[in-house]
């Protein structure tokens, strides 16, 4: 399972934190999870609705 994250990693742990939350909510195993940076696309990722 891949979690695309638009937030920049500066050592605060958004990749690990958000992937952990998704795994917990979906009852997925941690070894099934993968986090990666979302592509730079304003049409898809400029909305702040629900913090996305």
3-state secondary structure 4-50: EECCCCCCCCHHHHHHHHHHHHHCCCHHHCEEEECCCCHHHHCCCHH
pLDDT at 16: 87
Residues of the chain scoring pLDDT < 70: 45-52
pLDDT at 30: 84
pLDDT at 13: 82
**CB distance 33 to 23 below 8 Å:** yes
């Amino acid at each position: 399972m891949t979690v695309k994250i638009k937030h920049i990693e500066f050592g605060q742990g958004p990749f690990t934190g958000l992937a952990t939350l998704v795994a917990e909510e979906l009852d997925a195993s941690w070894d099934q999870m993968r986090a990666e940076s979302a592509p730079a696309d304003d049409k898809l990722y400029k909305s702040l609705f629900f913090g996305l």
